[in-house]
Structures are given as C-alpha cells and as structure tokens.
Structure 1
Amino acid sequence: MAAPVPRVGVGVLLIKGEDEILVGQRKGSHGSGFYALPGGHLEFGESWEQCAVREVLEETGIELLESSVSFAAVNNNVMTTENKHYITIFMKAKVPPETEAQNMEPHKCEGWIWVKYTEVPKPAFMPLQQLLDTGFTLK
C-alpha cells in the first residue's frame, strides 16, 4: 500500500466590511461539525485564483472575479488521526456589504454565516484554527 501523499486545499477568506468573514459548519466529511471557510481541493492545471472562484461559486453561489482574489497565507496541516496531510492555501477577496451566501451543498454544509474574524465559532476546522493561531490579520 502506498504512503498517503499531501493534497492541496484552497480556503477563501470572503471579507465583508472591515472584519467579517464567511464560515460554514461542515457536515458529512472529515471535520464534520467544525466551522470552515468556503474552499476545496485544487484541481489539476488550476490556478489558486481559479480554484477560489470555482469553490466559492459551487458552495455559496457567490460570484467572484479572478482579479478580485489574492493570496493571503499558507499552512501545513497534518491530521494524523485521519491519516490526511494538506497544504492549505488561503486566498482572500473583498465582497460588497449586501453579499449573501446560499447553501449550495447542504449535504456538505449546515449553512453559512458572517462572523467577525476574531469571533469565529468553535470548533474551527484545523486549517482555519491554525491560521487564527498564527496571528494573521485581514488588514
């Protein structure tokens, strides 16, 4: 049996106003019950920006332009109990104050909520919690 290999995930910080981000409670997969950003796996040949745009649309119905998405941070997530290893690339995009998210994948997410970046509900999914623990700011 081959050893597991790291995978690349992209998480998107959708920023509303000065300090609100969109999070959803995961369901039906690893991390079920944890709060996470919209995002998913980077597909072959895809840029980070393309992945962010695609995942946000698939999960929330929010349309982003690639030009509005930029790099925010990266972290290394080894989930030993689940035998998973991810490199998580965080992208960010500002959205208008009236932006609302739809739950496009109710089998994967309980629903989306806007929260202050410093008040992400617990428990936060490991990649997001690690980002918060680094002291990363939205500024």
Structure 2
Amino acid sequence: MDRSVRVGVAAVIVRDDTILLGERIGAHGANTWATPGGHLEFGESIEACAEREVLEETGLNAHFVKKLFFTNDVFCREQKHYVTLFVLLSCETGEPKVTEPDKCKRWKWCRLDELPNPLFLPLQNLFEEHPQLADLV
C-alpha cells in the first residue's frame, strides 16, 4: 500500500456570487461535489497546476488570482492522504463542459449559502476550518 502524502490543488472559481462545483465519479470521493483540481506535478507551480486542471476538466480558461488556504485530508476508507492547496481563480466568460466524463458527472454554479451535498472531503474541511471563506472570495 502506498503510504505517501500527495499534494492536491483545488481551484476556487467564483462568478456572480456562485462557486463552480462538479459532481465527482470514479475515483475517491465519488458522488461528492468538488471544485476543479488535481495533483501537483513535479516542477509545476501551484498557479499553473490550478489553471491547467481547470482547462483540462472544464474547458475554461481561468487565471490565478490568489492563494487561499490549505487542508490536511485523510481519506480513511481509501487509505489516501492529501494536503490540498486552495487557490482563487478568475473566469469571467464561458460555461464549463464535462471534458473528463470518467471523473465528473456535471458542473454547476452554486451559491455559497446553497451548496450541494455531500461535499468532497477537502472542501468540507475548508468550510469547517474557514467559515469566513465567503467573505474572502
């Protein structure tokens, strides 16, 4: 069993008081809602990773704005451990498309006070640890 800790990057995209979330399928966290994101690759900047993952997963051209927070996420059932780096990105135009149908069922713009359930563990941890997040984005 791989006992290494991986680094995940989560792209928070806010538009008109909503946040972009996708319903995960396939990998760990199936049937939960998450921001676009993925693994940080060797030598890649956090900002470039966030922009790349958004483009790969949604087809949107988003641009880095600022670093937000990190969470420490242990998926007990899957025996996986991640440190997830959350970053804020801007994307003023375009609508997300499901470009990886084996990983995401659909994308949805969600109001922060009406988030779908259940949320992906890193996103749950983010909102629990930083309830003021709505004020920062």
Gaps of at least 5 residues in structure 2 are none
After superposition, the C-alpha distances for 1:33-89 in whole angstroms (9 at most, x for unaligned) are 000110000000001000001000000000123xx3320110100112211000000
List alignment gaps of at least 5 residues for structure 1.
none
- Work out the percentage of aligned pairs sharing the same amino acid: 44
Structure 1 outlier segments of 4+, above 6 Å: none
Question: Aligned letter for 2:59?
Answer: G
2:83 equivalent in structure 1? 87
1:123 to 118, 125, 130: 118
How many residues are paired up?
134
Provide TM-score, normalisation by structure 1: 0.90
Give the alignment of 1:1-139 within 5 angstroms.
4-17=3-16, 19-65=17-63, 68-96=64-92, 98-134=93-129, 135-138=131-134, 139=136
**CA–CA distance in structure 2, aligned partners of residues 6 and 118 of structure 1:** 32
**TM-score, with length taken from structure 2:** 0.92
**Preserved CA contact (<8 Å) 2:60 2:91:** no
Q: The residue matched to 2:110 in structure 1 has which SS?
A: strand
The answer (yes or no) to whether the contact 2:23–2:104 under 8 Å persists in 1 is: yes
Measured in 2, the distance between the counterparts of 1:108 and 1:136 equals 29
Equivalent position SS for 1:7: strand
Aligned-partner Cα distance in 2 for 1:32–1:133: 20
